[in-house]
Structure 1
Amino acid sequence: MYKFYTSLRLCTYSKHFSFRQLSPFHSSAPRSFCLSSTLKYNSSRPSDSLHSFKPLSHNKAAFLVNSKNVEILSTPVDFYEKLKHIILNAKTRVVLSSLYIGTSEVELIKTIHIALSNNKQLQVTILVDYLRGTRAEKNGKSTAYMLNKLIKKFGSQRIKALLYHTPDLSGLKKKIYPPRLNETVGVMHIKAYMADDNVILSGANLSHDYFTNRQDRYFLFSNTKEMCDYIADLVCSISKISYSITEYIKNKKTLKNKIQCSLTADCPSPHKRPIPFRVYANQVMTKFMEDWALKARDSKTSDKFFDLKNKPQLDALEYDSMVIPSLQMGPLGIYEDQEHTEALFQILNRHSSLMDNCRTDITSAYFNFADLHTNAILNSNGVFNVLIASPEANGFYNASGISKYIPHAYTMFEKQFLAKLENKKRLEKVKIFEYTRKDWTYHGKGMWCFMDSSEPALTILGSSNLGERSLKKDLEAQFTIITKSENFQQELHANNRENYEGWQVLRVYKSGGNSFDGYRHWDSIAKFNLKIRCCE
């Protein structure tokens, strides 16, 4: 039986602090540490370092964007206010894809109601997961119940409410798995919030915590029609393999709410005929990806962006950045993002073998990275900073039932990973940070790639938690952003540094020790000379 040492966590803060790190194997005087203490940054970048990312766009959808049309939002409140703003100002279309909408989000539903009332041409499509979207919360309501009210008011021609059901929950499991537990089998996890030609890409769901004190990442793309067309077409394609809500009624005998929904005529039932469903769904999604890859190939999007002749005129370029979406739908046989991530790690590994200052920051709310990610970190020569939520900042902290043990399980995984790092002699180049902020939780995910520069030229954000579940069970969408713009690179770096506010460096593993030492040491970020205000 594992014994978790959580009482030794550092819990006393000063009003202002800088980060310090103690040696992982000695409790003596602290030593100076920068985020990548082994690096000596070069101010210049080899001309081909950005070009090395070109294989990532091979046979995929890709979009050229102007970085001036991209706004990085910092807080949950910013996210919520921008979301309401783009919905209220939408003229033709609103497409929202999320795991669920919280039943306390009366204001958000009202915002959609006002937008539909003010503009008779507006059409709204909302995609959520069937299992999470039909699960009743404490108030007896569900996402489906709330959406049905909008359908009754505006009709199914103007608002479409879609529920994706995983084919992995079928047969006996469908009958015996209770609500909440059945969601562990697999869900629709894609998060994208689009209105007209504006879209917010994030990992956040649409509920109270994500609008107040659950930190995530949020990028608002404005005036990006082609990318928004992609999002709309993605949701449209998933709608072909999802249920549409037609009615939500109350059973007069049981007084329980019951959802009435239907599939398209061609779509087999995911829980009654899972094998034919998988075949049909794979065909639908494969066609979607092939169509958009063909558009990118025909327009030579990648060639235009990576053309080295454009470098001297970067400031004059209309498009200085590129976005590459990648989908992962394991139950449907779609592994685009897995292949994309493998290709990226190969590029980073080659680069780190040539350049000693190749750094990658990787973050997730949960320390349960897939073997794809852990093996890449362990076997690379590059520098990695791993950013995760502390147990106290985990959404399951102080939860009821068995869920309350989940944060401690992740702590155990951290110990096991640190042991592997020591065996690989990688402790000096891999640092693990935990997010700690009073009364806040952390839900961010993604990557920043610095290559041989002090500024990141590539970042990844989206819905994936970077675990085995994301690869095999859920529907996920990731977005890789590559930029030539020095200004935007600095903004990405500022966003990256914001993630270190309230972080502690984790050093829990002692050489030769059998116990889990609950050390939590502060680290100094010497590179940025930061004096960070304590998050209280």
Structure 2
Amino acid sequence: MNRKKLLDAARGVVNGSVGARKKDSPDRVSDAATQSRSLRCFPLQQQHVEEAFTTSTPGQFHSLLCEKIRKAKTRVSLASLYVGPAASPTATPREQDFLDALEIAAAKPQVQVNLILDKNRALRPVPLSADANAATTSSAQAVFVALTAGGNHGDKNNNLAPEAGANNLFLASVLSPSMQYILPNPFNEVAGVFHMKAYLIDDELIISGANLSEEYFVDRHDRYLHFTKGGAGLVDFYHELIQILCDHADVYSGENSSVTPNNMRQPTTKTQFVQALNEFLTIPKENDTDEPQDDFMNNNSKSKTVAVVVPTFQAPESFFSGSTTQRGFPDDIEVTRSLLECALEQQKLQDKNSTSETVVRLSSAYLNPTDNLLKVLAEFSHIEFLTAGRTSHGFAPKKKAGNKGKDWIPTVFETLSRDACQHLEAAKLLYYERPGWTFHAKGLWLEEGKMTHGAKTSVVAAICGSGNYGARSETLDVESNCVLIIPSGSPLQQPLKQEWTNMLEYTSEPPLSSIGAGKADSTSGKRVKEGNSEAPLSWPLQVCLPILRKFL
């Protein structure tokens, strides 16, 4: 498969691909704005990915993150949904370890520590004990205490205003001001969250789907892509992206102070914010060069490119509301679709005698593919979906307060995942079922090769990041992914393929005639029995399913 064409498609270099609106696609951005600029990319060499896949378990992720933060020399920039507040240090020791590491880094005068979290999730009250009248803390307060305990800008009880260059906690809200005011928790989180995950310390970067709480440090299966030695500029890219997002976010100054927009700082407007993103995420096409593409063909060079990374950014239109400037960059949804369409075009153009086929493997903790994605996937002859089974679902009921009534959520996702497979004749559905563990890994693997028995396929492109490829990621949440274009013979092909293989150890392929596989009646639209299966949802959920699908 031609990697140059895949890279061009992912970056939006080719007019009529990324950024060109289709009649069946959302009206996301003007053609002229996007087609005049292409996304930035970063050609990686072996030195940048030597530790890319050495972290593969939650425990390793926790140890790596805490160690790097404790030893930070210049900067710590972290973007996540939330941080575990260690409300009960004995029950959540790893959350406390993480907060302690932040405190150590914040105490160093030469190290700047900045975190950006989702506003509503970070301010959600967390009881300090099981007592009904127990006092509460929050993710934001726990982080604030850690950042100020070192004395960099005041003690933890004074709630002093942040200073330029000091350690700060920023809170980003995806919602419009009116929705932010109207919706109570947790409905404000349902309407959209800051879901991006990027963890940067000095010249190293971890791109993941994992948040920063106890379960993500212990028994929640996720992915971790670790770039070192600056990642050919990728590390600085994410540091600057986080800074732009922080410039537009609110500053948290302690639980005794109100959270006000850009508190005590020069405020930015939405127009300035969108302009900054447009200029930062892309480059004018007239200034673009073929240098990254040429590196693909330089197989004999000692500085051979092992992958080219295209970082993406995704946000709902409400995130840009109030701006007089249009979003001028292709977002993650457009990039993913363009990449798949490019692979399809190449498959159709190959020699009729060729036995090579294209395989799409997609993993999502909460599988709910959108109609736009399903329409592209329907053209492929080999598709595999991997998602959380009922045992390992993130919303499976847990034996603690506050989780009652959530058992319907895994059932809904089970129905949605099976519906997706019934739309795709070539799709295989796999459920991750591991007792005591939950599943949170997300990503896409694009492979080519022979699908005959015993034959092998090789990875030509992969995506890693925070997106779940569902309606939430497309229309409600802020996301960031890294698209990797992998040249033939790259040392990254095998570990990327091994990621998928390792997940298969705990998977099973359910029969589509089992619970959840009832088909929709053509006249009533209601789901009915198929064979010996039972309708998976109660009638209220069946009626609400089209609405629920937009928020899952």
Q: How many aligned positions are there?
A: 441
| 2:101 aligned to which of 111, 114, 131 | 111
- State the shift of 1:169 in Å: 5.9
Q: Determine if the alignment matches structure 1 residue 56 to structure 2 residue 10.
A: yes
Rate the CA distance shift 1:309–1:320 in 2: closer, same or farther, 3 A.
Answer: closer
Aligned to 1:481: 484
Q: Which residue of 2 aligns with 1:39?
A: none
> Residues 77-96 of structure 1 correspond to what in structure 2 (within 5 A)?
77-96=59-78
CA contact (8 A) 2:244 2:276 kept: no
8 Å Cα contact 2:367-2:468 kept in structure 1: no
Contact map agreement 2:363 2:443 (CA 8 A) in 1: yes
Kept in 1: contact 2:432–2:506 (CA 8 A): yes
SS of 1:515's equivalent?
Answer: coil
Correspondence for 1:325: 311
Q: Does 1:186 align with 2:198?
A: no
**Partner Cα distance (1:75, 1:93) in 2:** 25
Distance 1:363 1:309 in 2: 27
Q: Note closer, same or farther for the CA distance 1:483–1:112 as it changes in structure 2 (3 Å cut).
A: same
In 2 relative to 1, CA 381–262 (structure 1 residues): closer, same or farther, beyond 3 Å? closer
Counterpart of 2:234 in structure 1 is 227
C-alpha change, 1:234 and 1:405, in structure 2 (3 Å) is same
329 and 320 in structure 1: CA distance in 2 versus 1, 3 angstrom threshold: same
Verify: 1:166 aligned to 2:170, yes or no: no
RMSD of the TM alignment (CA)? 2.6
2-structure distance, mates of 1:375, 1:267: 42
- Give yes or no for contact 1:65–1:224 (8 Å, CA) kept in 2: no
Within 1, Cα distance between the matches of 2:199 and 2:497? 24
SS of match in other structure, 1:53: helix
Q: Which residue of structure 1 lines up, in the alignment, with residue 247 of structure 2?
A: 240
Report what 2:499 is aligned to. Answer: 495
* 1:124 lines up with 2:121 in the alignment: no
Q: Deviations over 1:414-458 (max 9, x none)?
A: 33223323xxxx1xx311101010100000111011134722121
Match of 1:508 in 2: 512
2 CA distance for matches of 1:495 and 1:367?
18
Residue matched to 1:36? none
Give the direction of change, closer, same or farther, for the CA distance of 1:393–1:92 in structure 2 (3 Å limit).
Answer: same
| Residue 127 of structure 1, CA deviation | 0.4
Q: Secondary structure at the match of 1:246?
A: coil
Residue number in structure 2 paired with 1:527: none
Name the structure 1 match of 2:262: 263
Contact 1:246 / 1:261 at 8 angstroms: preserved in 2?
A: no
Q: Secondary structure at the match of 1:162?
A: strand
CA-CA distance at 1:295 after TM superposition? 8.5
Q: Which amino acid aligns with 1:291?
A: F
Among candidates 462, 480, 484, match of residue 465 of structure 2:
462
Partner secondary structure for residue 169 of structure 2: strand
User: Aligned with 1:183: secondary structure?
Assistant: helix
The C-alpha deviation readout for 1:158-215, integer Å capped at 9, x for no partner, is 31100011234625x733x332222101111110000011000000000000011000
SS state of the match for residue 329, structure 1? coil
Give 5+ residue unaligned stretches, structure 1: 1-45, 250-257, 269-279, 520-536
Q: 1:312 to 1:99 in 2, by over 3 A?
A: closer
Native 8 Å contact 2:39 2:281 kept in 1: yes
Partner SS, residue 313 of structure 1 = coil
Q: Distance in 2 between matches of 1:233 and 1:308?
A: 25
| Alpha-carbon distance in structure 2 between the residues aligned to 1:285 and 1:195 | 26
SS in 2 for 1:319: coil
Native 8 Å contact 1:353 1:381 kept in 2: no
Q: What residue is the counterpart of 1:416 in the other structure?
A: 419
Partner of 1:276 in structure 2?
Answer: none
- What CA distance in whole angstroms lies between the structure 1 residues aligned with 2:275 and 2:448? 32
Q: Which amino acid aligns with 1:502?
A: Y
Secondary structure (helix, strand or coil) at the match of 2:125 reads: coil
Q: How far is 1:68 from its partner?
A: 4.1
TM-score (norm 1): 0.76
SS of alignment partner, residue 170 of structure 1:
helix
**Which deviates further from its counterpart, 334-343 or 78-87?**
334-343
**Following the alignment from structure 1 to structure 2, what is the Cα–Cα distance between the partners of residues 430 and 107?**
42
Which residue is equivalent to 1:347? 342
**Are the aligned partners of 1:435 and 1:503 in contact in 2 as well (CA < 8 Å)?**
yes
Q: Distance in 1 between matches of 2:177 and 2:412?
A: 25
One-letter identity of the residue aligned with 1:88 = R
Q: C-alpha separation between the residues in 2 aligned to 1:233 and 1:91?
A: 18
Letter in 2 for 1:152: T
Query: Which deviates more, 145-154 or 486-495?
Result: 145-154
| Deviation (angstroms), 1:241 | 1.7
Deviation at 1:135, TM superposition (A): 0.5
Give the equivalent residue in structure 2 for 1:30: none
Cα 1:169/1:201, change in 2 over 3 Å: same
* Structure 1 residue identity aligned to 2:44: V
In 2, the alpha carbon distance for the partners of 1:282 and 1:439 equals 47
**Which SS does the other structure have where 2:441 is aligned?**
coil
- Counterparts of 1:322 and 1:168 in 2: how far apart (Å)? 36
Q: Please, what TM-score do these two structures have when normalized by structure 2?
A: 0.74
- Residue 232 of structure 1: CA displacement? 1.2
Query: 2:407 aligned with 1:396, yes or no?
Result: no
Give % identity. Answer: 24
Cα distance change on mapping 1:404 and 1:288 into 2, 3 Å: same
Q: Is the 8 A contact 2:386 2:430 kept in 1?
A: yes
> Contact conserved, 1:191 with 1:463, CA < 8 A, in 2?
yes
Kept in 2, the 8 Å contact 1:129–1:163? The answer is yes
In structure 2, distance between residues paired with 1:512 and 1:243: 47
